[in-house]
Amino acid sequence: MALKIRPAREDDIDRIFEVETLSFKEPYPKGLLYIYLKLTPELFLVIEKNGKVIGYTIGLLKPSKLGHIVSLAIDPKERRKGYGTLLLKKLLEKFKELGVCKVRLEVRVSNRPAINLYSKHGFKIAYIIKRFYLNGEDAYVMVKDLNEG
Ligand SMILES: CC(C)(COP(=O)(O)OP(=O)(O)OC[C@H]1O[C@@H](n2cnc3c(N)ncnc32)[C@H](O)[C@@H]1OP(=O)(O)O)[C@@H](O)C(=O)NCCC(=O)NCCS
- The predicted structure's pLDDT at residue 43: 97
Nearest one of 105, 99, 54, 110 to 79, comparing CA atoms: 54
**Tens digits of per-residue pLDDT, 67-120?**
999 999 999 999 999 999 999 999 999 999 999 999 999 999 999 999 999 999
What SS3 state is found at 54?
strand
- The atom of ligand 1 lying closest to the CA of 106 is 48
pTM: 0.97
Distance from residue 42's CA to the centre of ligand 1 (Å): 23
Mutate to test the pocket of ligand 1, among 19, 49, 79, 108 (most ligand atoms within 8 A of CB): 79
Residue 88 contacts residue 59 (beta carbons within 8 Å): no
Range of the domain at 73: 3-148
Counts of helices then strands in the chain (DSSP H, E) = 4, 7
* CATH number of residue 139's parent domain: 3.40.630.30
Q: Which runs of consecutive H residues, i.e. helices, occur in 4-148? A: 13-23, 30-39, 83-97, 112-120
The Cβ of residue 91 has, within 10 Å, a number of other Cβ atoms equal to 21
Mutate to test the pocket of ligand 1, among 68, 105, 116, 143 (most ligand atoms within 8 A of CB): 116
Task: Count up the domains in the chain and report the number.
Answer: 1
Tell me phi and psi for residue 63, to 5 degrees: -55, 160
Residue 149 has pLDDT above 90, yes or no: no
